[in-house]
Amino acid sequence: MKEAKNCKLISKKEIISGVFDYTVESADISNEAACGQFLHISCGGKSFLRRPISICDAGNGTVRFIFEVKGEGTLELSQKEVGDHIDILGPLGHGFDIKNYKNPLIIGGGIGVFPLFKLAKELNNNANVFLGFRNKDRVCMEEEFEQVSKLSIVGTDDGSYGYTGYIASAMEGFIKNSPCDVIFSCGPMPMLKAVKQIAENAGIECQLSLEQRMGCGIGACLVCVCESIFEGTNKYLRVCKNGPVFDSKVVKL
Ligand SMILES: Cc1cc2nc3c(=O)[nH]c(=O)nc-3n(C[C@H](O)[C@H](O)[C@H](O)COP(=O)(O)OP(=O)(O)OC[C@H]3O[C@@H](n4cnc5c(N)ncnc54)[C@H](O)[C@@H]3O)c2cc1C
Ligand code: FES
């Protein structure tokens, strides 16, 4: 069984309002981390349960994660200062399978873009990347993604920056005219549903990273289950253990 590590916070930035970019030291987590896996973080005294946050990047003995303040846990986490230690369990879960795809496409929405950064890096500038945000004020990581992508398109739901409208629509138009053999996605549920539908209609393989509320994070409590196409004991899959990344054809959204 994995043991939690006490990791020193070595860099902290608020990249947009309420969204914090943290880098911690941990050679063990850094060496093991695969793209799409997550950390289960003890946020502080008031939040009894750990909170799941995706690995954004890892390497050279450090691990980077980015989170939005939502409630008590992430608020406490955002109050850590450089030099503080954070209790982190990880890396956990089953990440993206990056095999030998020729024309990968990545699509992320909102806080779902963070786990896609390490993935884009590992695809060696070969992925076409689509990033969607609510409005201009919520756009983040645009330049970093540009540096590790073949093509990078940013859109906003309200049209205040980049492509106007849902980013899944931009992706749908793109794949009509450009080769694509796999779609990787993470983001809000309506976006994931749209991406699943578009990929399946086009006959393109698709891997989705799901975000569910979690308890234990290690497969023991069943708080995080999602419905699958299977019957019997596999009808409900554990997002923390079987996922968070699933083949889109396996999960019912
Ligand atoms: C595998 C995984 C990876 C994640 N990666 C990231 C990440 O990289 N960056 C990031 O900002 N967030 C990420 N999340 C979401 C993050 O875990 C939640 O926002 C966080 O747990 C909220 O805790 P809280 O105590 O601040 O809020 P709470 O008080 O627990 O909840 C506040 C609000 O957030 C909602 N919420 C709580 N948990 C989740 C959840 N799991 N998914 C969606 N909404 C939730 C609640 O419904 C409520 O409306 C991830 C979640 C999962 C399951
Ligand atoms: S969070 Fe406990 S089984 Fe997934």
Per residue in 56-89, is it b (16+ CB within 10 Å) or e — as a string?
A: bbbeeebbbbbbbbeeebbebbbebeeeeebebb
Tell me the HSE value of 217 on the side-chain side, using a 13 A CA sphere: 21
The residues of the chain that CATH labels 3.40.50.80 are 104-247
CA gap 219, 85 in Å, rounded: 26
Q: Which CATH code, of 3.40.50.80, 3.40.50.970, 1.10.540.10, 3.30.460.20, is assigned to 104-247?
A: 3.40.50.80
Strand, helix or coil for residue 242:
coil
For ligand 2, mutation pick of 1, 38, 41, 224 (most atoms within 8 Å of CB): 224
The pLDDT tens digits for 75-124 are 999 999 999 999 999 999 999 999 889 999 999 999 999 999 999 999 99
Centre of ligand 2 to C-alpha 225, Å, is 7
Centre of ligand 1 to C-alpha 111, Å, is 10
| Tokens 């990581």 sit on residue | 141
For ligand 1, mutation pick of 42, 66, 70 (most atoms within 8 Å of CB): 70
CATH number of 5-92: 2.40.30.10
* Residue 159, C-beta contacts closer than 8 angstroms, at least 6 positions apart: 165
The pLDDT tens digits for 137-188 are 999 999 999 999 999 999 999 999 999 999 999 999 999 999 999 999 999 9
In this structure, are residues 93 and 241 in contact, taking their beta carbons and an 8 Å threshold?
yes
Centre of ligand 2 to C-alpha 233, Å, is 15
**pTM score of the predicted model:** 0.96
The residues of the chain that CATH labels 2.40.30.10 are 5-92
